[in-house]
Amino acid sequence: MSQNEHKLNINAPVDTSVEREKHGFDVLKDDTIKCADCRRKLIDIIQVKEDEGIIKEIQVQCYCGGSSFIYEIKGHTFMQAAKGVAIVDMPTRVVGNITYITIEVIKT
Ligand SMILES: [Zn+2]
């Protein structure tokens, strides 16, 4: 399995690629989650639809041993690994309307 396939599989529960292709989307916010320790870019995230009822709290575990600050975003989003890193694990936990996501990345 290539890194790309692995990445897509892991993204599947969070990203709704089918919806994205069917309806198209407007990018409301385009951001990058960085490591708070080494400042590397880890995850590219875009917000495509606002929804106050959907809250994501995202923290990325960097391969340097550090991690990002907790990143909060509301609404519908797409995420992918930044250039030079790959997502290896992404456990999520849902509490009410808040989804807590911990993303573990490795260097590619
Ligand atoms: Zn780091």
pLDDT at residue 23, as a whole number:
60
**Which of the four pLDDT bands, split at 50, 70 and 90, describes residue 17?**
low
CA dist list (Å): 84 to 14, 20, 41, 104, 106: 21, 24, 9, 14, 9
CA–centroid distance, residue 96 to ligand 1 (Å): 30
For ligand 1, the distance from its centroid to the CA atom of residue 29, given in whole angstroms, is: 23
pLDDT of 1 reads 41
> Residue 6 pLDDT > 50, yes or no?
no
pTM: 0.77
* Confidence (pLDDT) at 3: 44
CA of 86 to the centre of ligand 1 (A): 13
The CA 81 to ligand 1 mean position distance, Å, reads 14
Any idea where the domains of the chain sit in the sequence? 3-107
Q: Is 35 helix (H, G, I), strand (E, B) or coil?
A: coil
